[in-house]
Structure 1
Amino acid sequence: MTCSQERVDRASAADRRTRIRTLNDQLRQTGVGGRMVMTAGVAALPPTDIAAILLAVANFDGFDQDNDPWGEHDCALLHVGERQLFWKIDYYDRSLTNVSPDPADPAVTIRVMTVMLPEEY
């Protein structure tokens, strides 16, 4: 591989990561671009707690090298009040039966964001 090819590959990987991060942020912040689900433990909480949790997930911006080493904004652990929560985004093919062949391409990917209590992971 030549040096110029390595630069192209790194740029392509960075572009791909940026596209995945943008699509993940869009789903997390607006609910657009995939499906949002919650586990039974979260769903059993009072509606005001659920609303506060979803708002906290949408507003979360504490990504760093420790919790987002690949820069894709695909999961995080956070606190809402005294409660600890976890959310993550998975990438499925359009039939929701297999992993996506390309998470950077919304034409072949359905994103599913799950909000859960840590003990439900």
Structure 2
Amino acid sequence: MTTTEATQAPTIAQLNDRFRQGDHTLGQTFPSLWVSSLPSEAQQELFRLVRVFDNFTPGNDPWEEHDKGQIEFQGEQYLWKIDYYALDLKHGSKDPSNPAVTTRVLTLMHASEY
């Protein structure tokens, strides 16, 4: 991690938390095929669990960006990940700390889909 990336990490983490907790002006969320096949109530609960996730540790968040996590639901493991794209969603963002040039994409999937 460069010095610039290290100084941007707190800003990126704050933006990721805002997005994950419901500020969808910062991006889009996508359920995987597995998650999409679940009943609506189960999908809603999974996304609720993502919103309240706060178990970030050096082991699961080494860059301190709050960009991924693992949750358990009905005895199954699910993973979520936030990726950073340019506004056109065709390329990676050049600056994930700047919401004016970044669209966040959160994908929620069953662990077997990883």
Q: TM-score, normalised by structure 2?
A: 0.91
- CA distance in 1: counterparts of 2:68 and 2:104, whole angstroms: 12
- CA distance in 2: counterparts of 1:120 and 1:107, whole angstroms: 31
- In the alignment, structure 1 segments of 5+ residues that lack a partner are 1-8
- In the alignment, structure 2 segments of 5+ residues that lack a partner are none
Partner of 2:87 in structure 1?
94
Which amino acid letter does the alignment assign opposite residue 54 of structure 1?
A: F
- CA distance in 2: counterparts of 1:31 and 1:83, whole angstroms: 27
Give identity over the alignment, percent: 38
Residue 14 of structure 1: how far off its partner (Å):
4.4
Q: Counterpart of 1:98 in 2: which secondary structure?
A: coil
Aligned positions, number: 112
- CA distance in 2: counterparts of 1:87 and 1:24, whole angstroms: 12
Larger radius of gyration, structure 1 or 2?
A: 1
Q: Counterpart of 1:27 in 2: which secondary structure?
A: helix
* Pair 1:19-2:11 in alignment: yes
- CA distance in 1: counterparts of 2:81 and 2:9, whole angstroms: 16
Q: TM-score, normalised by structure 1?
A: 0.86
For the aligned residue pairs, the C-alpha RMSD in angstroms reads 1.5
Q: Counterpart of 1:49 in 2: which secondary structure?
A: helix
Deviates more, 1:86-95 or 1:76-85: 76-85
1:47-83: CA deviation from partner (whole Å, max 9, x where unpaired):
1111110110000010001000110000011112312
